[in-house]
Amino acid sequence: MTLSACNLYVTWLKILLGALTSVGLIIFLLPWWPSTEYLVIPKYILLFFPRWWMIGVALCCLALAPFVCWKYRVLVILVVLIALQFNDLRVNLRGNSVKKENGITVMSANIGAGVSLANLKQVINTHYPDIISFQEARKEKMVLVTESGYQVDCVSSQCIASKLPFVREQIMSRRQFGGWGSFATFYKFNHFKVPLYFINVHFNTPRSVIEDALNLDFNITQASKVDDIRSKQASLVQEWAEQRLAVVLAGDFNMPVEENIYHQNFSHYRNVLSDAAFGFNYTKYTQWHGVRIDHILTSSIIDITSAQVLPPVGGDHRPIIATITPQI
């Protein structure tokens, strides 16, 4: 390779690194994106389209890093770290997996179309969680837990099963947003010294915006409407939860941790998978990629012992489970 060709090659590599660093910075700032209508569609494209491409490009840059000066090698490292973070790689070095005294195990599962009830029952019998929140459930499906001695309560397509006694406190309906069913159901457990409040969550999906974008239909007005409803639902749940001391939120949030709506309303809670899981923790899968949109969140006074995404039971969601201990 001639000197001029080599210089041209290095120049283009530097341009590529600069462009990737800019993209990485945009991705890094997603939780703080302003709620501007013109940014709604780009936000959902970045959040819900495949993310693995960034790892591939970052690794290519890493292989080419020896050919550039140290300043650009720093950019390469930065791009690689952002790519791994954006693809939800978690490294938990605490090594704490022993259930503590007064600890409880909480599980959440979206059991919509495609779920094998036999597989789900096997998972429940293996882990035997104390509290389970279900989304896209039906009362007839709850036979698999009532047979195991759980107390069950269902509100539209949201169900809860518990070995501990509880009372239902409140329901938040989608009717106020022109929909049907509930997006949050609130429960109270008096098993501890102070009440533990449990919220079964299933916020609206942004699927229509994503599908429109795939079809090159960029309807800003409709996308903003979808985003506004999701933001209001999250805000209502957060306002209710912040008035309680010990809270667990579990369910299908339909939002990754990088979304600004999540950051504005739930970033002050502890996310069990973020804090205690290991590896890639996708909970929702498509033919092309995975993303973590199912969560179990806790108040800061609740200690997280362990957390993991469980094996698939059919359908496009995977159950998640965590062992927690209220410090009350």
3 state DSSP class of 304: strand
53 or 30: which leads in pLDDT: 30
Angle at 31 between CA 41 and CA 88, to 5 degrees: 95
Task: Write out the two tokens for 80.
Answer: 């690689």
Q: Which residue has the higher pLDDT, 190 or 1?
A: 190
Q: Does 187 have pLDDT greater than 90?
A: yes
Poorest-confidence range of 85-89, 163-167, 296-300? 85-89
The least confident of 95-104, 118-127, 249-258, 288-297 is: 95-104
Show Cβ contacts of residue 200 under 8 Å, excluding neighbours closer than 6 positions. Answer: 133, 134, 135, 158, 159, 160, 184, 185, 187, 250, 251
Give, in order, the Cα–Cα distances in Å from 303 to each of 80, 97, 275: 31, 12, 10
What whole-number distance in Å separates Cα of residue 28 and Cα of residue 46? Answer: 11
Task: Identify the bridge partners of residue 179 per DSSP, sorted by sequence position.
Answer: none
Q: From CA 258, how far away is CA 46, in angstroms rounded?
A: 10
Q: Mean per-residue pLDDT for 174-182? A: 94
Q: Using alpha carbons, select from 306, 286, 308, 282 the residue that is nearest to residue 95.
A: 306
Q: What percent of the chain has pLDDT over 90?
A: 60
Percent of the chain with pLDDT over 70: 92
For the chain, domain boundaries: 3-87, 104-326
Q: What is the pLDDT of residue 26?
A: 84
Condensed to tens digits (0 to 9), the pLDDT of residues 262-314 reads 999 999 999 999 999 988 899 999 878 899 999 999 999 999 999 999 999 99
State which CATH number among 3.40.50.720, 3.90.640.10, 3.60.10.10, 3.30.565.10 fits the domain covering 104-326: 3.60.10.10
**60 falls in which pLDDT band (50, 70, 90)?**
confident
Instruction: Please name every residue paired with 104 in a beta bridge, in sequence order, or none if there are none.
Output: 324
Q: What's the CA gap between 159 and 292, in Å, rounded?
A: 21
In 33-73, beta strands by DSSP E: none
Q: Return the number of other C-beta atoms located less than 10 Å from residue 126's C-beta.
A: 10
Return the SS3 of 255.
coil
Does the pLDDT of residue 7 top 70, yes or no?
Answer: no
For residue 99, name the pLDDT band (cuts at 50, 70, 90).
Answer: low
Tell whether the model's pLDDT for residue 218 goes beyond 90: yes
With CA atoms as reference, report the closest residue to 266 among 284, 277, 253.
253
CA distance 320 to 53: 26
Q: Kind of pairing, strands 131-135 and 104-110? A: parallel
